[in-house]
Amino acid sequence: MRALVTGASRGIGAALLTEGRERGHEMIGTTRTGEPPHLDVADPEAQARLAAETRTLDLLVCNAGVFVDKEKTLETLTADDLNATFETNVTGVFLTVQAQLRNLAAGTRIAIIASQMGLQEIATGDSFAYRASKAAAINLGRTLAEALRGREVAVGIYHPGWVQTDMGGATAAVTVGASARGLWDRFEALDMERTGRFETYDGRPHPF
């Protein structure tokens, strides 16, 4: 399988890159800085350049994300915080898929790394920008699944767990390796019968 993972410089993205290679897949991982290929997912021109350089893919993983309001409150959250969050977590997903459509044939797969923090049922009164962006990412994934059904491109939406990364913190419940292994199991099982589903990294169906 030939796969592209956005946001692969650290955390879950880096672990997905490593796990994919260990499973024998041909992996491409994008970063905003560091080793190429570089990609700012919110930049349409950068997306177009990368897509033109990328050959046919079997799997596209939209993983790049930010959590800028982790320490913000209702009183301190700014418009810039909201805009920056949605640019990466929502617009970035859409632009990545839009740009890479030229490289996605029938039978290929798209994985969107969302979060259960986007669910209305577990709203807790904090992390406004992140929660709203992940709710939008879940909805976007569902919409993309229907839009791409006729092309036979399957779209899976996934909660990676509360993972021990810079974003999740050291006290999180799931190791980054366990999350990556579970997510790869989901990617490899993704097909048109499963398109549009929201699942946890360990295979449990998630309500919307």
What confidence score (pLDDT) does residue 76 get? 96
Average pLDDT over residues 75-95: 98
Q: What's the pLDDT at 38? A: 95
Q: Whole-prediction pTM value?
A: 0.96
pLDDT band for 171, please (50, 70, 90 cuts). Answer: confident
Question: What's the structural domain count of the chain?
Answer: 1
Query: Does 207 reside within a domain?
Result: no
- Is the pLDDT reported for residue 172 higher than 80? no
How much is the pLDDT for 207? 78
Average pLDDT of span 147-159: 98
Q: Dump pLDDT digits (tens) for 50-71.
A: 999 999 999 999 999 999 999 9
- Can you tell me the distance from the alpha carbon of 20 to that of 179, in angstroms, rounded to the nearest whole number? 13
Asked whether residue 208 is assigned to any structural domain, the reply reads: no
Q: How far apart are CA 34 and CA 46, in angstroms?
A: 16
pLDDT band at 30 (very low <50, low <70, confident <90, very high): very high
Range of the domain at 50: 2-200
In the block, residue with structure tokens 């994985």: 111
pLDDT at 34: 81
Q: Is residue 206 part of a domain?
A: no
Q: How confident is the model at residue 35 (pLDDT cuts 50, 70, 90)?
A: confident
Determine the pLDDT at residue 74.
94
How far apart, in whole angstroms, are the C-alpha atoms of residue 152 and residue 155? 10
CATH number at residue 12: 3.40.50.720
Instruction: Give the three-state DSSP class for 42.
Output: coil
Is 57 contained in some domain? yes
